[in-house]
Amino acid sequence: MAASLGNFTGTLVLVGAGKMGGAMLEGWLALGLDLNKVAIFEPTPAPEIAALSNRGVRVNPPVEAIADAAVVILAVKPQVAAQAVPPLKAVMRPDTVAVSVMAGKTIAFLAGALGDVAIVRSIPNTPAAIGRGITVAVANSRVTDVQRSLVHTVLSSVGAVEWVGDEGLIDAATAVSGSGPAYVFLLAESLARAGAAAGLPTDLAARLARATVAGSGELLHRSPLDAATLRQNVTSPNGTTAAALAILMAADGLDPMLRKAVAAATKRSRELAG
C-alpha cells in the first residue's frame, strides 16, 4: 500500500491534467494530499479540474507565484514538451524534484530545459487510470534519498513502482509495461475472433474473451504463484488446453512473436528519444 501524502510539505505542481495527470491527481487525493498544496497547469482544463479551484487547488496560477514547489510532475504530451517544460524552470528550487511521465523525453532533454536539477524520468501505463498501473522510474544523480522516497509515494498513487539504475532500460520497460496493455487487449480481440471462427456467436465470443482475459489477469495479480505455474495448473495432459498450447508454444508461436514485438517497440522508443 502506498504511503500517505497527508504530511506533504510545499507545493505539488501538476503540469498537464489529461488522463494520466488526472488519474495521478485522484490518487494523490486518495492518499490524503491537501488540495491547498496542489497547483495545476493545464491550458484547457476539464470542468472537473477547473472546479477544483473552488476547493483550494491553484489552477493555472502565475508561475512566479509558486515559491515552494517540492515536486513538479510533467504530464504533458511529448510533442508539446519543448514549449511546455522550459517555463517551469522558474519554479525549480535546489530542493525541487521534477518527475516526467512523458514517453520519449530523456533526462538530458529535461535537464536542458530545467537546468542542473533533480530529475526523475518515468514511464507509467494506462491501468494507472484505475490505480492498477505499474511505473518504471530512473533518477539522475541530483535526486536525494529523501526525494526518491517522496517520488516513489507520488508515483505509487496509481500503482506499483519499479526503479532502474540505467536510463537505457526505460526503452525496454516502455516496450514491456508501457505498451504492454495494448498487447493484452489485442489478445482479447484475437481470442474473441478465434471463438467466433470456432462457431460461437460473435457477441458471446467477445464477452467470453473479455471476461477470461480480465479474470486471468486478476488471478495472476492475487495469486502468489508465477505465471508458468498458473498456466500449468490449467493444463491437463493431452487435454484441450494442451492441444492449444502446442500451437502457441511452438517454435514459431507466441514467444518469438512477442520477442520481435518488444524489440520493435524498444527500437522505436529509442528513436523517439533521439
CB atoms near residue 148 (< 10 Å): 16
Residue 274: pLDDT over 80: no
What is the dihedral angle through the alpha carbons of 224, 228, 233, 238, rounded to the nearest 10 degrees?
180
DSSP 8-state code for residue 199: T
* Confidence label for 3 from pLDDT (cuts 50, 70 and 90): confident
pLDDT in tens, 84-112: 999 999 999 999 999 999 999 999 999 99
pLDDT level of residue 2 (50, 70, 90 thresholds): low
Determine the pLDDT at residue 272: 85
pLDDT tens for 212-224 read: 999 999 999 999 9
Above 90 in pLDDT, residue 198?
Answer: yes
% pLDDT > 70, the chain: 99
pLDDT digits (tens, 9 = 90+) for 71-89: 999 999 999 999 999 999 9
Distances (CA, A) of 138 to 78, 106, 119, 205: 18, 10, 9, 41
Q: Nine-digit cell at 102?
A: 512523458
